[in-house]
Amino acid sequence: MSQSPPPLSTWARHISPSPTLAVDAKAKALQSAGEDVCSFAAGEPDFDTPEHIKEACIAALRAGKTKYAPTPGIEPLRQAIAERYGVEYGLKVTPAQVIVSPGGKFNCYLGVLATCSPGDEVIIPAPYWVSYPEMVKLAGATPKFVLADDRTGFRLTPAMVESAVTPRTKLLILNSPSNPTGAVYSRAELTAIAAVAVKHNLYILSDEMYEHLIYDGAAPTCVATLSPEAEARTIIVAGFSKTYAMTGWRIGTTVAPLPIAKAIVDLQSQMTSNVTTFAQFGALAALTEKEKTRAALVTMLAAFDRRRKYLHAELNRIPGVSCLLAQGAFYLFPNISSFGLKDADFCSRLLDAEKVAAVPGSAFGAEGYLRVSYATSDEIIRKGVERLARFCATLKK
Ligand SMILES: *Cc1c(COP(=O)(O)O)cnc(C)c1O
């Protein structure tokens, strides 16, 4: 009698797969089976990486940049990242504080691992990006969710943060502009929230992945600039994926106070080593060939902004749907609770009936909403929202 193998690890048995990637995969599978799918499920820009960035990567590959690089990144890239924080935010950053990691997702995970031990609690504002809770659990810590729904513009107040703090709280995660809601906190709001973190001696992980995808003349806030006390405890995560349409390159960045940065480099040195060496030269071009990069970004932002306004207006024309006009990222988060269906049921029926894919709000810890991505063509958006309206009309009694 052969014995069956032992159970897999606690981590393997308790990790949930990414629901956003799952919906996207299902939409793509239907599409390749020949179905005419309109997907609002995308979590990445629909644009290609700007040409000058690709060329710099190809040139580096041809020049033999194919060996290991220093774990935290090639020196000129760390230098350029440090400099950009000075130029964009007036923040003094040295290259030693910068870590280049294989995607912003991994930067976030390393930030959690560097600060949280088993038994610690982490405050996660909901609706949240799907990976935060799983990262916290993989570190052995416990997520504490605080829900800010559309009544507060999906933004936490300092009092809401305060109410979630316990003696075990170690870390506060912030994400402005937000995935999934697109909400952008004002500088004043973040200042008040950071003060709560300082008061209770918490670390802050500020996920600023969408800092450049911001509309209506709003300005992004770098949380480390809010006060010297905030700077001393904040891990800033940002990257190339969303701003420069480089999701497949897998390059993200961390800026942290030196002791945290050192811990993160040590963790990365044992887990993945450096980001693909020649890819880092592409990222370097994104920061150094400023005029070309700016031109590409302006073009992408204009398209996102046009789609954002169109989609917002069309969603609000559907009886039973109400949607705030988000100021950042490339998502809207309409409220569909008036239909009296679980959002997951709403989404699966929508996909079956009209071949429209959207991610249910419950995947982000907020039942009763949809995450609708406008990182797709104007044509898909127009067709998709028309089908959504037709679907909603069948639900109305
Ligand atoms: C996309 C995303 C990331 C990470 O992106 P990478 O593709 O890993 O660089 C991190 N945080 C949020 C909120 C995101 O939406």
Which domains are present in the chain? 10-48+293-392 (3.90.1150.10), 52-289 (3.40.640.10)
Single out the residue of 150, 233, 227, 152 nearest to residue 187, CA to CA: 227
Task: Please tell me the predicted confidence (pLDDT) of residue 42.
Answer: 85
Cα(155)–Cα(158) distance, rounded to whole angstroms?
Answer: 10
Task: Please tell me the predicted confidence (pLDDT) of residue 244.
Answer: 97
Single out the residue of 57, 212, 194 nearest to residue 123, CA to CA: 194
Please indicate whether residue 129, judged by its CB atom, sits closer than 6 Å to ligand 1: yes
Q: Which amino acid is at 355?
A: K
Please indicate whether residue 175, judged by its CB atom, sits closer than 6 Å to ligand 1: yes
Strand-pair partners of 145 = 124
What number does the ligand 1 atom closest to the CA of 251 have? Answer: 9
Please indicate whether residue 252, judged by its CB atom, sits closer than 6 Å to ligand 1: yes
Distance 43 CA to ligand 1 centre (A): 9
Average pLDDT over residues 299-324: 98
pLDDT digits (tens, 9 = 90+) for 46-97: 999 999 999 999 999 999 999 999 999 999 999 999 999 999 999 999 999 9
Do 255 and 236 meet the contact criterion of CB atoms below 8 Å apart?
A: yes
pLDDT digits (tens, 9 = 90+) for 9-45: 988 888 887 777 777 888 888 989 999 999 999 889 9
**Sorting pLDDT into bands at 50, 70 and 90, what band is 213?**
very high
Give the mean pLDDT of the chain: 96
First to last CA, the chain: 60
Is the model's pLDDT at 361 over the cut of 80?
yes
CA distances from 254 to 130, 260, 386 (A): 19, 10, 41
Task: Please tell me the predicted confidence (pLDDT) of residue 36.
Answer: 94
**Sorting pLDDT into bands at 50, 70 and 90, what band is 1?**
low
What number does the ligand 1 atom closest to the CA of 106 have? Answer: 8
With a pLDDT cut of 70, the percent of the chain lying above it is: 99
pLDDT digits (tens, 9 = 90+) for 166-190: 999 999 999 999 999 999 999 999 9
Distance 288 CA to ligand 1 centre (A): 22
pLDDT digits (tens, 9 = 90+) for 236-286: 999 999 999 999 999 999 999 999 999 999 999 999 999 999 999 999 999
Distance 282 CA to ligand 1 centre (A): 18
Average pLDDT over residues 151-180: 98
Please indicate whether residue 178, judged by its CB atom, sits closer than 6 Å to ligand 1: no
Distance 353 CA to ligand 1 centre (A): 31
Helix (H, G, I), strand (E, B) or coil at 382: helix
Please indicate whether residue 176, judged by its CB atom, sits closer than 6 Å to ligand 1: no
Strand-pair partners of 163 = none
Nearest CA to ligand 1 atom 5: 104
Nearest CA to ligand 1 atom 13: 179
Cα(105)–Cα(114) distance, rounded to whole angstroms?
Answer: 14
Q: At what angle do helices 104-115 and 258-271 cross, to 10 degrees?
A: 110
Residue where the block lists tokens 């929202």: 385
Strand-pair partners of 340 = none
**Sorting pLDDT into bands at 50, 70 and 90, what band is 397?**
low
The 3-class secondary structure across 32-49, one letter per residue, is: HCCCCCEECCCCCCCCCC
Distance 241 CA to ligand 1 centre (A): 7
Single out the residue of 181, 206, 219 nearest to residue 329, CA to CA: 181
- Number of residues that this document lists for the chain: 397
Dig out the tokens for 154 from the structure.
């999906």
What number does the ligand 1 atom closest to the CA of 247 have? Answer: 7
Please indicate whether residue 328, judged by its CB atom, sits closer than 6 Å to ligand 1: no
Distance 239 CA to ligand 1 centre (A): 8
Q: Which residue has the higher pLDDT, 135 or 43?
A: 135
Determine whether 179 is exposed, middle or buried from the number of CB atoms within 10 Å of its CB (0-12, 13-18, 19+). Answer: buried
Helix %, strand %, coil % of the chain (to 5): 50, 15, 40
Single out the residue of 21, 372, 395, 318 nearest to residue 181, CA to CA: 372
Residue where the block lists tokens 């009296």: 340
- For ligand 1, mutation pick of 20, 106, 112, 207 (most atoms within 8 Å of CB): 207
Single out the residue of 136, 141, 112 nearest to residue 260, CA to CA: 112
Is the model's pLDDT at 300 over the cut of 70?
yes
Q: How many helices and strands in the chain, by DSSP H and E?
A: 14, 12
Torsion from C-alpha of 127, 176, 162, 134, nearest 10 degrees? 50
Do 170 and 203 meet the contact criterion of CB atoms below 8 Å apart?
A: yes
Helix (H, G, I), strand (E, B) or coil at 5: coil
Q: Which residue has the higher pLDDT, 163 or 10?
A: 163
Do 320 and 394 meet the contact criterion of CB atoms below 8 Å apart?
A: no
Please indicate whether residue 247, judged by its CB atom, sits closer than 6 Å to ligand 1: yes
Element of type H or E holding 25? helix 19-32
Task: Please tell me the predicted confidence (pLDDT) of residue 19.
Answer: 74
What number does the ligand 1 atom closest to the CA of 179 have? Answer: 13
Single out the residue of 17, 14, 46, 56 nearest to residue 288, CA to CA: 56
Single out the residue of 366, 381, 370 nearest to residue 346, CA to CA: 370
Task: Please tell me the predicted confidence (pLDDT) of residue 16.
Answer: 80
At residue 85, what are phi and psi to the nearest 5 degrees?
Answer: -65, -30
